Amino acid sequence: MSTILVTGAAGYIGSHAVKRLLAAGKRVVGVDNLSRGHRPAIDRLASLAPDRFAFEQADVGDTKRMARILAEHKVTDLMHFAAYALVGESVEQPLLYYQNNTAATARLLEACDLAAAGTTLGSRSPGVQRVVFSSTCATYGEPDESRIPIEESCPQSPINPYGRSKLASEMLLKDWADARNRAGTPVAMALLRYFNVCGSDSAGLLGEHHDPETHLIPVVLQVALGQRDKVKVFGTDYPTPDGTCLRDYIHVEDLVDAHAVVLDALNPASAAKGGAGAARIYNLGTGKAASVREILEAARRVTGHPIPAVEVDRRPGDPPVLLANPSRIASDLGWKAATTSVDRMVETAWRWFRENPKGYAAK
């Protein structure tokens, strides 16, 4: 049985990915430094399959430690989620984002090479042969209207350090994979560019907990819980049907399901024959857009709360529309998002926030 290492395993998306992989009978090693992840999420995951899940508290940028973890657990597959993802913070602290997102990825790949070479424990491990990387639609920046819905061939021109750190990581990963394949140590890779991830585990075990919280749906639900007085609507004069921004929302369970499907489809031997550019690149979205006003109305329907809103000026850098064209993954792998109802997405998030009003903190 292969062993999958999941970085950022205590975070929002990483924890849901671990649950999806365990449900499929996989053996998983979760890694997180817990700087922004949540230990209770790990404890909940461990209860699902204690014989197939191990957790290592470590920083992915610690090359020697990661090499030892990779070798000891005989890791063959890697899902790399660990990253900081607050756009505003990235503008204020760009070095933090390049260090944590890009430089740490370089050190993680170095650890993969050390583990495969046997320089850590004195004997060779199977080595990482398949990699799925958590990227973002932020690498596209603000596409021209003619480029929407966005295809994977859309030029990448990110407008903030977060997006640039992810684009730099994409380039690094592709170069590393190409070098590995030329050297005869095959690795197959996929770069998955997310749109707006939302919702929570439908069983209620896991959910979304950020501090500070900046995502629209959690912010709206915090108003419903009385944790905020109102929600701000940033801009109502966009060239969209109701004047507010349009975004492509994808449920977190669909997102991690796509990761599992893509991982199973990766073939190191075929990637090696493909040479340079062999990485698979997929947009992950539904291909449907919802406006800020539509999210508000969905939350009012689901929660039964009025959810006061106040209209304020636009935020700099908010594109009017971000909409995925997810046809490539559908064509290649037959995968499509199962949840396309915004109400359903909000329902799963509302269940989590209602039952865990302080997130993973003590109730």
Q: Has 12 been annotated as catalytic?
A: no
The DSSP call for residue 140 is G
Give the list of residues 6+ apart from residue 86 with CB closer than 8 angstroms, or none.
Answer: 162, 212, 214
Task: For the chain, give the longest Cα–Cα distance.
Answer: 63
What is the rounded distance in angstroms from the CA atom of residue 276 to the CA atom of residue 278?
Answer: 6
Q: Catalytic: which of 84, 97, 162, 194? A: 162
Neighbours of 173 (CB within 10 A): 23
The CA distances from residue 120 to 34, 40, 67, 101, 104, in Å, are 24, 31, 6, 24, 19
What is the rounded distance in angstroms from the CA atom of residue 226 to the CA atom of residue 224?
Answer: 5
Give the list of residues 6+ apart from residue 290 with CB closer than 8 angstroms, or none.
Answer: 246, 247, 249, 298, 342
Give the list of residues 6+ apart from residue 315 with CB closer than 8 angstroms, or none.
Answer: 234, 235
| Tokens 């903030």 sit on residue | 160
* Phi then psi dihedrals of residue 165, to 5 deg: -65, -35
* Phi then psi dihedrals of residue 69, to 5 deg: -60, -45
CA Rg value for the chain: 20
Catalytic positions, written as ranges = 162
